[in-house]
Chain A
Amino acid sequence: MISFKSISLAVAISAATFSLAQSSALAQEGGHGPTPHMEKWSFAGMFGTYDKAQLQRGFRVYREVCSACHSLSRLRIGNLADEGGPGFSEGQVKALAAEYQIKDFNDKGEPIQRPGFPSDNFPKIFANEDAAAAVHGKAPPDLSVIAKARSYSRGFPFFLLDMLPGVAYQEHGPDYIHALLNGYTKPDDTKWNEYFPGNQIAMPKPLSDDQVDYTDGSPKTVEQYSRDVAAFLMWAAEPKLEERKRTGLNALIFLFIFAGLLYFTKKKIWADAH
């Protein structure tokens, strides 16, 4: 009797214990302002996968808008053709890479600029953070892992639910990015953002309607641009997400079967002890 009661209690308690970290993890971003809206993402949930067309559109937005100030230096240009990514072809990536100018040395050891290869990382925009800060006032962050480096709190008790099967919620980062890019709600103040902690953001409103040309008929709106670029940045931060979720499913199926076998073996063995 006792053990049964304590099991249920302890399950509840350990659930609460795990989750404490989350409240802290998110406290920083969420202290002020409204909570970003939970968007629907193709990569959410146990069976989530990236929408290739969306990632390609998102890359276009990044390249034509964000990349003026924000680097993506932890990715190689060739990553764009990787499995589980935007699905560009090898040829497309090669052509794209050639459009970048990469710092290198020639055979005399002199510094040169040469066209990029897919094996090159996306070039840095500034030599270092101080140089970036000197131009922009505050260094624009590199966007390689930004979708995992930004988050917000859903508050108690919702943060506890975020880890549970069925309702697990891991898309705080893209939701925050999407909300932020749509959060310039004061037309007369381009540095006021509803979702930025403290509301005063160093980045002036970056996106406007019809700014980036889409060829697949998707709406050319800030809403759509921000959604696509948030998805792209999620892929940039977590390029192995599809592989991870696929492997996880196999692992869980195996473990459940194995646990079942062990359970019945255990019952059989213990039958003569009871």
Chain B
Amino acid sequence: MSGPSTFVPKSALGRWFESRLPIMGLIHGSFVAYPTPRNLNYWWAFGAILSFMLVAQIITGIVLTMHYTPQVDLAFASVEHIMRDVNWGWFLRYAHSNGASMFFVAVYVHMFRGLYYGSYKAPREVLWILGVIIYLLMMATGFLGYTLPWGQMSFWGATVITNFFTAIPLVGDAVTTWLWGGYSVGNPTLNRFFALHYLLPFMIAGVVVLHVWALHVVGQNNPAGVEVKNVDRDTVPFTPYATIKDSFAVVCFMILYAWFIFYVPNYLGHADNYIEANPLSTPAHIVPEWYYLPFYAILRAIPSKLGGVTAMFGSIAILAFLPWLDTSRVRSASFRPMYRIFFWAFVLCCLGLGYLGAQPAEGGYIIAARLLTAFYFGFFIIILPLLGIFETPKPVPATIADAVLAKNGGAVMNPAE
């Protein structure tokens, strides 16, 4: 879609520079002239919201490191120091801790949007897989970051999650000792987690560049799920149309974000994390942050250790195979009546698993978690492949312009005409 840029700088200096490093042309081609489908709804704004959250997390994170101490005897105290003594420290810390949650809220909406509108289908498989990699890096970063305040949940969350690696046959214990730098989670662990927590966001930023690059090669999907056929009729330039729409969406999202920072800053956290880590006393229930709960429920649903860990990682890895598991030729759920039902069932399944992940692992909760785990995998392995064969899709509009016309009752005129 984005061919060689036709951008020509207006000033002579600009032209001189552009002929040596065509960076203005690159930016112009990617964020100004780049054609976006004209029928995108606000669910497509979450890419911009995610970019904003990544930048917000990196900036608040960098300034927090100027006050934080990654040492087991001092870490908890240094976070309290940030909250009590550092100028605006309470704001920076709440913005960062709630920012992680907002980041995951946005990424889940973004992923479910992709799932609903079939954004992973050819030719967007690589784009989708890069997204799965970003999501994995986000999960790793979030986990590492949650360790740093060195509260009870930090410590025991880190203990439970690093113990996943002991499930690896033969080398599991050696790998875990290597990760810890000792025989349990301790000071070397905290130190390296801090180093890696600082590193990973920049790796995320790197993969985001690839993700956006891949997006600009194949072009955006859209609610109709049909490809752009006529750039003039089907698309609008990124700037000003998408820019202003995304800006509005980002600011609306910031209202939500601000609400959490200023009025319910501890709502998404765990009270136990205000108790300093104690390696000799395990809290009654160890629960991860809310954004990991569905996977935690899957882990606990399987009665064997290796099986549970495998199922948990498998539940994320299976996302990477989605483009080939979904056999339907129609992208958008708008034209797939049966898929739409299963999609919402899948959303409910994930929410249910999330709820169960927060409950004690006993009795009825375990049985429910097993049923939902079965549905989770069944959705990918059985339902999606079969739906493509048995489902009769509704007629798909020929072009994006037709889809817009149908929606607006024929009142649409193209600015280019």
Contact = CB atoms under 8 A, between A and B. Distances in A.
| A–B contact at 8 Å CB threshold (below) | yes
Interface centre among A6, A162, A251, by most chain B C-beta atoms within 10 angstroms, is A6
B344 interface: yes
B321 interface: no
Contacts of A46: 263
Interface string B59-95: 0000000000000000001001001100000110010
A144 interface: yes
Given A170-B264, A240-B90, A252-B259, A27 B251 contact: no
Contact of A21 (B94, B268, B272, B411): B268
Interface string B258-280: 11111111111111101100000
Interface of B is mostly: helix
A240 B271 CA distance: 18
A150 B271 contact: yes
A24 B287 contact: yes
A145 B268 contact: no
Contacts of B265: 244
Interface in A15-38: 16-29, 31
A21 B275 contact: no
A168 B260 CA distance: 10
B266 A148 contact: yes
A2 interface: yes
Contacts of A144: 80
Contacts of A29: 271
Given A245-B263, A248-B261, A270-B245, A17 B108 contact: yes
Contact of B109 (A14, A148, A168): A14
A20 B293 contact: yes
B349 to A, nearest CB: 12
B150 interface: no
A266 B241 CA distance: 8
Interface residues on B, range: 35 or more
Given A151-B271, A273-B236, A6 B116 contact: yes
A237 B248 contact: no
Contact of A252 (B105, B255, B283): B255
B344 A21 contact: no
A38 B248 CA distance: 38
B108 A266 contact: no
A18 B268 contact: yes
Given A21-B267, A21-B293, A255-B254, 18 more contacts: A6-B116, A7-B42, A9-B344, A10-B109, A19-B267, A20-B357, A25-B270, A31-B284, A79-B84, A144-B80, A148-B266, A149-B271, A165-B259, A165-B263, A252-B255, A255-B258, A262-B247, A273-B38
9 smallest CB-CB distances across A and B, nearest first, come from: A248-B262, A21-B290, A24-B358, A149-B274, A24-B287, A151-B271, A262-B248, A240-B90, A25-B270
17 contacts: A6-B43, A20-B290, A21-B101, A24-B290, A25-B270, A27-B287, A27-B358, A28-B284, A29-B271, A74-B84, A170-B263, A170-B267, A237-B274, A247-B91, A248-B263, A255-B251, A259-B255
